Amino acid sequence: MKFILKTLVSSIGVLIASYLLDGISIDSTLTAVFVAAVLGLLNNFIKPILIVLTIPITILTFGLFLLVINVLIVKWASDIVPGFKVSGWFSALLFSLIVSFVTSLIEGAIRDNAE
């Protein structure tokens, strides 16, 4: 249940990011839900492995290499989900930042209302 709720919240962030960025194309709302689900799965299973494998370069770049990992995750999601297109690395970076920001805002508002 928690994964479904987080996916729906993330799909709102995906839709907002695709609306704000020219380099991101999403065919439909259902595609946004699939993008959010794939991003969630990639972030839960693949991203931790990448972080562990790239610890030395992450330390050398003072953590900035984590942004590269975020971009890779978004680009892989665009390869997996039909109807989701990312035109470049910078668009993928902005997309990941916007989705993270919007998702954090919505989850914070949900937590505040639950208390």
- In the chain, where the domains are located: 2-102
pTM of the model: 0.92
pLDDT at 110: 86
Query: Does residue 76 or residue 113 have the better pLDDT?
Result: 76
Q: What is the DSSP annotation of 88-112?
A: -HHHHHHHHHHHHHHHHHHHHHHHH
pLDDT at 112: 80
Per-residue pLDDT averaged across 70-95, rounded? 97
> How many residues can be counted in the chain?
115
Q: Residue 102 contacts by C-beta under 8 Å, 6 or more apart in sequence?
A: 12, 13, 16, 17
